[in-house]
Amino acid sequence: MTNAPTNAASAEVTAIDSGARRPLLLLLGAALVWLVVSGVLALITSIQMHSPGFQADCPVLTHGRAAALRETAFIYGWAANAGLAIALWVLARLGGAPLRALNWAVIGTIFWNLGVAVGLVGIATGDMTSFAFFQLPRYVQPLLVVAYGAIAVSGVLAWSGRRTDQTYASQWYAVAALFLFPWLSSAAQVVLLWAPVRGTLQALASGWFTQGVWACWLAPLALAGAYYVVPKVSGRVLPSYDFAPLSFWTLIFVGAWTGGRHLVGGPVPAWIATMAVVSCSLLLFHYLIVGLNLRVACGAEGTGIKFIRYGLAAYVLGGVLDGITSFRGIALRTQFTLISDAQEQMAIYGGVSMMFFGAIYYMVPRLTGRPWASALFTVGHRVLVTSGVTVLLISLFVGGWIQSGELLDSKIPLADILGHLRIWFLLGSAANLVILGANILFLVNFCQSACVCSPIQASTENLFRQPTALEAPVS
Amino acid sequence: MSTPPNSDPRVDQAAVTDESLLAVHEKILGSQPDEKARYKLLPLNLLFIFSGLIFFAGTYMNRYAGRFDPHIYDENLKSTKGEAVAAAPVDPVVVGKKLFNNAACNTCHQATGLGQPGAIPPLVASEWATGPAERVIRIVLHGLQGPITVNGAAYNSAMPPFGRVAGSGFNWSDDKVAAVLTYVRQEWGNQASAITTEKVAEIRAKEGDHKPWTAEELLKIP
Amino acid sequence: MKNGPVFFLGLFAAVTISWAGIVLASHAQLGGLVPYFDDTEGKSFPERPAGIAARGQLVYADLGCASCHTQQVRRPGFGSDQARGWGDRQSVARDYIHQARPQLGGSRLGPDLTNLAGRKPSAPDAEDLLKLLYVGTPVHPRYQFLFETRPIVGEASAQALRLIGNLAPAAGFEVAPSERAQTLVAYLRSLNNTYEYPEARPAPAPIAAKGEAVAHGTPAASHQETKQEGKK
């Protein structure tokens, strides 16, 4: 029936996992700490939405700075560390060999997180750059690129030294993310920080970077994990997989062209916004294929797969919404409102982070050789974070819809609009509180699972069931 | 194949091995040498959607890209024949007003156009300002010297040349002369005809670098 | 994907092409944008901001004001930008060429500030803005760290805020704006986009094609630019 190698030696947990344990757990631990930090900041910024006086006398936490700190801690703290850990592990697993150059990865992790910490202090004290996803002050940016490179070396070696010639979608996405971020970041640094271009060209370059970070870095990192975990757990072949390469290249090639998405009607030539509209439409193909490929997640069970299911729904829905709201007739209403925030949260929290959670829940027991420490915390985190994010998205979308309608009517003063949004801002704060609580549970659970100093149980064979070979589809 | 139950939320069980995962999916992509039946698996509807999106993208780009012109901000500005997209014309009265109030006019004639009794004649309801175009153009182009009677009152002063003529400290283009005259002739309740740039150019060509005019000289011109 | 070098080349090409298409192409188009010389006014627009205003923009950026305020007015038909009195025309690229860090912004929880100093009938004066920053409103936070409450030594400072009621400082004290507050306010008071560039008032599309084109792709604006460059 199948010609896949099914030797008994391919146990579920091997030296690939135990060898990478410390470096990857270090990355994950850093990621979770930043996730909680960013959650605290998210709570502060959302309280400031309904009570503008909150912490306003504190110069390091003006709304603008707190929002920048939250975003930076989320992207460069949580998403980067977690995504790198997942990408390295997936590449090692599929490459069939233990990770090499892990000392570099550890050094890179230390310097990356040091750089993020210094950068956050810099933002808080007034050195932020005011570009979306790129607020870190320029004195830490080169350090981050170098540190990233040091971590990524392991992954690229795992890719080029893989045991078989065969490749899989997870590997493409992981390698793309590892390889492309340094290019994106250094190109943006040159034109925005070291030799800034003039006037609105900065907004354009910043838009290119933001969308590039999304399409060539964050989304591929998340998909690398999801494409790996879904067939592994469900035991089913991905449907419509023959379109996966086209979907991959669509994302990578078209993604950054959506850079003018938020400049519709703005002080940039018409063709830039038109290009963004067209690119958002083309990306619909990518989202469609990802949805078709990973739909087998719906029939599977497990903590990780439940997260991935949520993430997948948010990812595909977010892509469709991006496509719709990029059109000028819609953008003139949704632009500059909470709907933009809602879409961003839907992408980076609902989509990417949920897929990260799913991959982490699958991955950590294999790294530590132990199950997660607490079933209660595991389920609690999942229930709380999914409901929290859902409520947050609802509050932003509904509030944004009301706001966008009232902004169109010039007779309604802005102060009144904010008054009408108060209930939704309060709901958003409640949601952020729930999310923060959930992520603290996650952090505690992770520490208990990873940091217990007892030796690894010898009974991993009993813990992990022996997987069987995947059967080829009958066509 | 049945999915193994994942009853423990603390650990997700894997159903399949990494090797078979790679091998089976690689086979779907058809890059295995013994695989011949690649294209029969391609669902045509997905290909159709993809090409539909490409077609839409091309059409939309063609229609709304504003010819990739950096100065076109309105995507609806469609001129398919490669014509220049001109700026909307500026109202000469608006330009004239700016000129009148920024340059020297208002220092003597005042922003109200009422002038100064005994020295500077008024422009409001003045038979000169609203009179023949031939005369006012000459006054602004080359200036005016000596006594002049306006609305029955006598004035005596000198007006400098504004046109692009020898001895002019202003060097205004014919456009500007026409605009400021149009403004003067249509402001403050004046209702004389507008002055065109062509008319100014014609008179400047005809008179050349004439010295400032006197009232008698001008009265001889129809 | 099997062929490593080709795979990496493809990834690299993806980033490079989008980079060239968006950043480089628009830089080639707009990077050389020069101020527009207005013959009527005898000046070039936009005017270069005063040094204190340019420094104020850095304060605006580092406090993150752009997280609630935009600085871009869209053309009529795009929302109520112009009906709300935020500007009489759409913002164009030329408006921003003298700005070190354009603050286009992405959220309108607060009003657009593009034309704050050019608003009609009355633009806020320095005192209004300083009071807003010190006192705040129910929807605008107060930034009292930008001010200094200090004892009056000798004569009271001319810059001290005139505060009444429970906001007034204790007797013998005054509330004075710090240098950052002053530069920020100078920046806000320099925001003005009242000048109309030709590209901000495009003529309606021609109804019928008029045979052979007279000037190939030469909008009035670039014509003016060449004239001006010729003069220099």
* DSSP line for A407-432: HH-TTS-HHHHHHHTHHHHHHHHHHH
Distance in angstroms (rounded) separating the CA atoms of residues A268 and A205: 12
Let me know whether B139 and B156 are in one domain: yes
Determine whether the interchain pair A52/C145 forms a contact, defined as Cβ–Cβ distance below 8 Å: no
pLDDT at A54 over 70: yes
> B174: domain range?
92-220
pLDDT at A418 over 50: yes
Per-residue confidence band for C5, with pLDDT thresholds at 50, 70 and 90: confident
Per-residue confidence band for A452, with pLDDT thresholds at 50, 70 and 90: low
Let me know whether B120 and B160 are in one domain: yes
Note whether residue B8 is domain-resident.
no
Let me know whether B69 and B132 are in one domain: no
Per-residue confidence band for B67, with pLDDT thresholds at 50, 70 and 90: confident
| pTM for the full predicted model | 0.88
Using the 3D structure, point to which of B56, B85, B114 is the last residue of a domain: B85
DSSP H or E segment with residue A75: none
Determine whether the interchain pair B83/C206 forms a contact, defined as Cβ–Cβ distance below 8 Å: yes
Binding-face residues of C in 191-210 toward A, CB within 8 A: none
Neighbours of A457 (CB within 10 A): 12
pLDDT at C206: 46
Per-residue confidence band for A325, with pLDDT thresholds at 50, 70 and 90: very high
Share of chain B above pLDDT 70, in %: 86
Note whether residue B5 is domain-resident.
no
pLDDT at A23: 94
Let me know whether B115 and B139 are in one domain: yes
Subunits with at least 3 CB pairs below 8 A relative to chain C? A, B
Backbone φ and ψ of C119, nearest 5°? -70, 145
Per CB-CB distance under 8 Å, the chain C contacts of A283 are none
| pLDDT, tens digit, 9 for 90 and up, residues A161-216 | 998 888 999 999 999 999 999 999 999 999 999 999 999 999 999 999 999 999 99
pLDDT at A196: 93
Let me know whether B64 and B96 are in one domain: no
Per-residue confidence band for B61, with pLDDT thresholds at 50, 70 and 90: very high
pLDDT at C173 over 60: yes
Distance in angstroms (rounded) separating the CA atoms of residues C193 and C91: 8
pLDDT at C199: 81
Per CB-CB distance under 8 Å, the chain B contacts of C199 are 71-73, 87
Nearest to B64 among A270, A282, A467 (CB): A270
Q: What mean pLDDT comes out for the span C102-111?
A: 93
Determine whether the interchain pair A285/B49 forms a contact, defined as Cβ–Cβ distance below 8 Å: yes
Residue B67 contacts residue A264 (beta carbons within 8 Å): no
Tokens of residue B102, six digits: 């920024």
SS3 B16: strand
pLDDT at C157: 86
Q: What mean pLDDT comes out for the span A156-164?
A: 91
Task: Please name the residue of chain B whose CA is at the shortest distance from the CA of residue C91.
Answer: B73
| pLDDT, tens digit, 9 for 90 and up, residues B153-172 | 888 888 888 888 877 778 88
pLDDT at C221 over 80: no
Residue-averaged pLDDT of chain C: 83
pLDDT at C42 over 80: no
Binding-face residues of C in 44-103 toward B, CB within 8 A: 75, 90, 92-93
| pLDDT, tens digit, 9 for 90 and up, residues A103-128 | 999 999 999 999 999 999 999 999 99
Shortest Cα–Cα distance, C182 to chain A (Å): 16
Note whether residue C182 is domain-resident.
yes
Task: Please name the residue of chain B whose CA is at the shortest distance from the CA of residue C93.
Answer: B71
Note whether residue C202 is domain-resident.
no
Per CB-CB distance under 8 Å, the chain C contacts of B88 are 201-204
Backbone φ and ψ of A181, nearest 5°? -55, -45
pLDDT at C220: 38
pLDDT at C203 over 70: no
Q: C155 or A285, which is more confident?
A: A285
**Chain A interface test: which of C33, C59, C60, C62 (most A C-beta within 10 Å):** C62
Nearest to A371 among B11, B38, B57 (CB): B11
pLDDT at C209: 38
Q: What mean pLDDT comes out for the span C202-217?
A: 43
Determine whether the interchain pair B85/C219 forms a contact, defined as Cβ–Cβ distance below 8 Å: yes
Using the 3D structure, point to which of B35, B55, B85 is the last residue of a domain: B85
Per-residue confidence band for A254, with pLDDT thresholds at 50, 70 and 90: very high
| pLDDT, tens digit, 9 for 90 and up, residues C57-79 | 999 999 999 999 999 999 888 88
Query: Is omega for the bond preceding C46 within 30 degrees of 0, making it cis?
Result: yes
Nearest to B81 among C93, C209, C220 (CB): C209
Longest Cα–Cα distance in chain C: 81
Per CB-CB distance under 8 Å, the chain B contacts of C221 are 71, 87
Determine whether the interchain pair A415/C138 forms a contact, defined as Cβ–Cβ distance below 8 Å: yes
Q: C180 or C165, which is more confident?
A: C180
Per CB-CB distance under 8 Å, the chain A contacts of C21 are 257, 275
Task: Please name the residue of chain A whose CA is at the shortest distance from the CA of residue B52.
Answer: A282
Per CB-CB distance under 8 Å, the chain B contacts of A305 are 6, 12
pLDDT at C223: 39
pLDDT at A347 over 90: yes
Longest Cα–Cα distance in chain A: 74
* Residue owning tokens 């990496």: C8
Determine whether the interchain pair A233/B22 forms a contact, defined as Cβ–Cβ distance below 8 Å: no
Using the 3D structure, point to which of B27, B51, B85 is the last residue of a domain: B85
Determine whether the interchain pair A196/C63 forms a contact, defined as Cβ–Cβ distance below 8 Å: no
pLDDT at A7: 39
Let me know whether B115 and B187 are in one domain: yes
Let me know whether B112 and B195 are in one domain: yes
Distance in angstroms (rounded) separating the CA atoms of residues C227 and A100: 63
CATH code of the domain covering residue C84: 1.10.760.10
Cα A141–Cα A147–Cα A151 angle in degrees, nearest 5 = 140
Say how far residue B168 (Cα) sits from the centre of its chain. Answer: 29
Determine whether the interchain pair A65/C110 forms a contact, defined as Cβ–Cβ distance below 8 Å: no
Note whether residue B6 is domain-resident.
no
Residue A335 contacts residue A264 (beta carbons within 8 Å): yes
Per-residue confidence band for A138, with pLDDT thresholds at 50, 70 and 90: very high
Let me know whether B215 and B106 are in one domain: yes
Note whether residue B145 is domain-resident.
yes
**Chain B interface test: which of A12, A242, A376, A445 (most B C-beta within 10 Å):** A242
Per CB-CB distance under 8 Å, the chain A contacts of B66 are 269-271, 274
Exposed / middle / buried, residue B40 (Cβ in 10 Å: 0-12, 13-18, 19+): exposed
The alpha helices in A51-140, defined as continuous H runs, are 63-72, 80-95, 102-124
Let me know whether B79 and B141 are in one domain: no
Residue C202 contacts residue B87 (beta carbons within 8 Å): yes
Let me know whether B104 and B55 are in one domain: no
Q: What mean pLDDT comes out for the span C36-50?
A: 84
Q: Name the domain count of chain C.
A: 1
Let me know whether B173 and B101 are in one domain: yes
- Residue B22 contacts A, CB cutoff 8 Å: yes
Q: What mean pLDDT comes out for the span C175-187?
A: 95
Q: Cβ contacts of residue C33 below 8 Å, gap of 6+?
A: A198, A199, B70, C93, C94, C97
Kindly provide the b/e burial profile for residues A44-64, where b requires at least 16 CB atoms within 10 angstroms of the residue's own CB.
bbbbbbbbbebbbeebebbbb
pLDDT at C2: 65
Nearest to A266 among C7, C19, C72 (CB): C72
Q: What mean pLDDT comes out for the span B95-111?
A: 80
Q: Name the domain count of chain B.
A: 2
Distance in angstroms (rounded) separating the CA atoms of residues C97 and C104: 13
Exposed / middle / buried, residue A8 (Cβ in 10 Å: 0-12, 13-18, 19+): exposed
Residue A293 contacts residue A226 (beta carbons within 8 Å): no
| pLDDT, tens digit, 9 for 90 and up, residues C16-25 | 999 999 999 9
pLDDT at A12: 77
Distance in angstroms (rounded) separating the CA atoms of residues C67 and A311: 27
Let me know whether B123 and B65 are in one domain: no
pLDDT at C40: 72
Tokens of residue C158, six digits: 């001319």
Query: What is the identity of the amino acid at B159?
Result: M
CATH code of the domain covering residue B180: 1.10.760.10
* Residue owning tokens 């599309």: C205
pLDDT at C96: 94
pLDDT at B204: 85
pLDDT at A315: 97
pLDDT at B3: 44
Task: Of B45, B23, C151, C161, give the one whose Cα is nearest residue A243.
Answer: B45
> C193: domain range?
34-197
pLDDT at C225 over 70: no
| Secondary structure of B20-89 in HEC code, one letter for each residue | HHHHHHHHHCCCCCCCCCCHHHCCHHHHHHHHHHHHHHHHHHHHHCHHHCCCCCCCCCCCCCCCCCCECC
pLDDT at B45: 85
Note whether residue B3 is domain-resident.
no
SS3 C148: strand
| Per-residue CA distances from A106 to A1, A112, A176, A341 (Å) | 43, 10, 21, 34
